Amino acid sequence: MTRRAVVIGTGHYLPERVVENAEFEDKLDTTDEWIRSRSGIERRHFAAEDETTSDMATKAAEAALKDAGLEADDIDAIVLATSTADLTFPSAATMVQAALGMTKGFAFDIQAVCAGFVYALSNANALIASGQANRVLVIGAETFSRIMDWTDRSTCVLFGDGAGALLLEAQDLTGTNTDRGILATDLNSDGKYKDLLYVDGGVSQRTTGYLRMQGNQVFRHAVEKLAKTANTALEKTGLGSDDVDWVVPHQANIRIIQGTAKKMGLPMDKVVVTVQDHGNTSAASIPLALSVGNARGQIKEGDLVVTEAIGGGLAWGAVVLRW
């Protein structure tokens, strides 16, 4: 028997404010058509002035708990992926723990930018596989609208805010690739590419900073590295692209999503796409898409799902799981 981390609940939250592409036309040298053609994005959500990352994460977590029919004290840990935590410390995860009324266990943040949720899933899987936790709430939540340079049309039109959550439960299964749950993970980083995607400020520099990106270079690395990490994770399970029911990628750019699917030899009708409605929500994008795909009835029990993401660092990785 093998101890697997099985998805038993999903949930997501999007801020009330919806920002259509047309809103940028009065402020920037851009158009709805320009944004759509280069990114596939049509709209995104922005957090309210008094709405924080932990607020959104809590609402997504509550939805995932409700979906699973569980209460906060039924879980042992919270792993929250974010690059836009409320405070320098404590972690946003501990704020979610308090807001949920969870009186036991532990909570911590993971920061791997857009790859954060893949890293969080991998860590949660390790906690369950090692016996340190039986149920783990894994959350991705971001308020990237707080770190946008609103004069930079190449970046500020791409990002949005939101949160998504998965609830994982330990189950003793056969140890084969027919099991439900997380079957394999693959994580990577290469710090020499820092200048391709970063925020030009931080605590030790005593500044907040804005997001900066070399979009063409990020695109070039993304398609190659995402397809490779997805195939590497699949190889660890003894499965291949033909076995995949759904790819649920980081929702950064429709051209990256299409290019990665093509490189993997998969048609777009096997890809869950939400980028048109949410924009790039960084670490929140995969759990948002998983929750939406589950709510739509696209992803069904027993389906083989591949998630992959790349973000600043550069950091990238993939997770293969059976729903």
Please classify residue 232 by burial: count the beta carbons closer than 10 Å to its beta carbon, then call 0-12 exposed, 13-18 middle and 19+ buried. middle
- Could you confirm whether 231 is annotated as catalytic? no
| Beta strands 246-249 and 135-143, pairing class | unpaired
Tell me which of 123, 250, 278, 294 is the catalytic residue.
250
Tell me which of 12, 114, 125, 231 is the catalytic residue.
114
Which helix (H) or strand (E) element contains residue 163?
strand 161-173
Return all residues near 134 (Cβ < 8 A) that are at least 6 apart: 76, 128, 169, 170
Say how far apart CA 138 and CA 102 lie, in whole Å: 14
Say how far apart CA 283 and CA 80 lie, in whole Å: 9
Return all residues near 181 (Cβ < 8 A) that are at least 6 apart: 4, 5, 6, 7, 168, 171, 173, 321, 322
- Could you confirm whether 114 is annotated as catalytic? yes
Tell me which of 123, 231, 253, 280 is the catalytic residue.
280
Retrieve residue 14's tokens.
């999007």
- Could you confirm whether 250 is annotated as catalytic? yes
* Catalytic center residues: 114, 250, 280
